[in-house]
Amino acid sequence: MSTAVQKTTTPKARPAENDLGFGRFFTDHMLTLQYEPKQGWHEPKVVPYGPLPMDPAAGVFHYGQALFEGLKAFRAGDGTVNLFRLDEHCARMARGAPRLCMPVVEPSLMRSLILDFMRVEQDWVPRAPGTSLYLRPTMIATEGFLGVRASQRYTFFIIASPVGAYYAGGVKPVRIWVEREHTRAAKGGLGAVKAGANYAASLLAASRAKEKGYDQVLWLDAEKHDQVEEVGTMNLFALLGDELVTPPLSDSILAGVTRNCVLQLAKGYGLKVSERPLAISELTQSSKSGALKEVFGSGTAAVISPVGELSWTGGSLQVNKGEVGPIAGRLYEEISAIQRGGRPDTHGWLTKI
Ligand SMILES: *Cc1c(COP(=O)(O)O)cnc(C)c1O
């Protein structure tokens, strides 16, 4: 299957690289791929970026069959472009599709489609420090049919957005609301896959936290509301003494690619690295005893997001005096440097375009 390329005749003006923000600008092209049961996945093409023709009865609109990925391409000092952990992102989407009764795009196919797309769009990878090109591979149900069952037709597409340095003014710790009412994901639910529905479920708590002056929420388990799960749309880490703890993967925790990077790198820092349950009471007790050194989130958008404060109804705790801790800082610097070719890629995390 070879990808047809139809180039735009009206290329866009490039946005200023010092004010990209996140997800505001899109490149000139998108890649699309179609599925129907007889042919399987077919018709890969790169076409000018624009609206998708959709049947208003399409499954994605009514029953939420939508799955996505998020990965980045970085420009190295020598001008070449690298994708970060391409194979892990392709594998994760392939693992997620069956949970939503969607057909798998084989990781080898997805990999080659992303590379086909990047060969057309590589000039869109920004050059300014801290910037990157964010890729959003997405799969949606497109069959026009209102009966409740899995769709028989799907579209897979890739769009891309040049994005700015996440921390324009240097890494800044976030203030977090511990969410005890709403939950993001429950046992047996969709939490382990990158389904759009998980984001829909999270929006109300996030917007209420913002109204209260917090940046994001800390998600607890859906059953007892006492186990720490994730922070915002990131995986969570806490440094307790010299033990770096993150909750174990479960069906309510997303297997972050950045989480995996942190686990690999932190072992080399002389820390005890544990994937184990973490109760909110352990966080508050270790804050009192002085054992709680750092808390941070990990994800593709921010890489590492240090947490400076956790608050809940009737209480709060400060982490590392509200400042960036040494481990969070070191992980951020090291992962960012590898992404941009400023450090040797000893783990094989980069794919050159
Ligand atoms: C995408 C995502 C993450 C982070 O995953 P990365 O692969 O590191 O970007 C963490 N939690 C949730 C809920 C997510 O959707």
The string of pLDDT tens digits covering residues 65-112 is 999 999 999 999 999 999 999 999 999 999 999 999 999 999 999 999
pLDDT at 168 over 70: no
Q: Which atom of ligand 1 is nearest to the CA of 88?
A: 7
DSSP designation for 227: B
**What 3-state DSSP class applies to 90?**
helix
DSSP designation for 123: G
Specify the pairing of strand 71-75 against strand 132-141.
antiparallel
Give nearest CA residue, ligand 1 atom 13: 233
Sequence-distant (≥ 6) Cβ neighbours of residue 264 within 8 angstroms: 347
Torsion 157-73-91-246 (CA) sign: negative
Q: Is the CB of 71 under 6 A from ligand 1?
A: no
Q: 174-339: same fold as 4-165?
A: no
Q: What is the pLDDT of residue 34?
A: 98
Q: Is the CB of 258 under 6 A from ligand 1?
A: yes
Give nearest CA residue, ligand 1 atom 12: 233
**Right CATH number for 174-339 from 3.40.50.12160, 2.60.120.10, 3.20.10.10, 3.30.160.110?**
3.20.10.10
DSSP string of 273-328, one letter each residue: EEE---BHHHHHHHHHHT-EEEEEEEETTTEEEEEEEEEETTEEEESGGGS--HHH
Residue ranges of E strands in 76-183: 81-84, 132-141, 154-163, 174-179
pLDDT at 193 over 90: yes
Q: Which atom of ligand 1 is nearest to the CA of 198?
A: 13
pTM score, whole prediction: 0.97
Q: Which atom of ligand 1 is nearest to the CA of 257?
A: 7
Q: Which atom of ligand 1 is nearest to the CA of 71?
A: 9
Sequence-distant (≥ 6) Cβ neighbours of residue 15 within 8 angstroms: 24, 25, 162
Domain covering 4-165 assigned CATH 3.40.50.2300 in the classification: no
pLDDT at 177 over 70: yes
Q: Which atom of ligand 1 is nearest to the CA of 185?
A: 13
Helix H segments across the chain? Answer: 59-63, 86-96, 107-121, 196-211, 257-267, 280-289, 326-339
Q: What is the pLDDT of residue 333?
A: 95
CA 353 to chain centre: 21
Q: Is the CB of 230 under 6 A from ligand 1?
A: yes
The string of pLDDT tens digits covering residues 117-167 is 999 999 999 999 999 999 999 999 999 999 999 999 999 999 999 999 877
Q: Once rounded to an integer, what is the mean pLDDT over residues 320-346?
A: 97
Q: Which atom of ligand 1 is nearest to the CA of 298?
A: 8
Determine the residue of 254, 257, 261, 300 to mutate for testing ligand 1's pocket, defined as the one with the most ligand atoms within 8 A of the Cβ atom: 254
Specify the pairing of strand 272-275 against strand 243-246.
parallel
Q: Is the CB of 194 under 6 A from ligand 1?
A: yes
Give nearest CA residue, ligand 1 atom 14: 233
Determine the residue of 234, 331, 336, 339 to mutate for testing ligand 1's pocket, defined as the one with the most ligand atoms within 8 A of the Cβ atom: 234
* Tokens standing for residue 194: 């990158």
CA atoms of 6 and 9, how far apart (whole Å): 9
Q: Which atom of ligand 1 is nearest to the CA of 299?
A: 8
The string of pLDDT tens digits covering residues 200-224 is 999 999 999 999 999 999 999 999 9
Q: Is the CB of 234 under 6 A from ligand 1?
A: yes
- Ligand 1 centroid, distance to 298 Cα (angstroms): 8
- Ligand 1 centroid, distance to 235 Cα (angstroms): 6
Determine the residue of 300, 332, 339 to mutate for testing ligand 1's pocket, defined as the one with the most ligand atoms within 8 A of the Cβ atom: 300
Q: How confident is the model at residue 21 (pLDDT cuts 50, 70, 90)?
A: very high
**What 3-state DSSP class applies to 204?**
helix
Residue spans of the domains in the chain: they are 4-165, 174-339
Q: Is the CB of 257 under 6 A from ligand 1?
A: yes
The string of pLDDT tens digits covering residues 258-314 is 999 999 999 999 999 999 999 999 999 999 999 999 999 999 999 999 999 999 999
* Tokens standing for residue 283: 């966080």
Q: What is the pLDDT of residue 53?
A: 96
Q: What is the pLDDT of residue 31?
A: 99
Q: What is the pLDDT of residue 167?
A: 73
Q: Is the CB of 69 under 6 A from ligand 1?
A: no
- Ligand 1 centroid, distance to 253 Cα (angstroms): 9
- Ligand 1 centroid, distance to 234 Cα (angstroms): 5
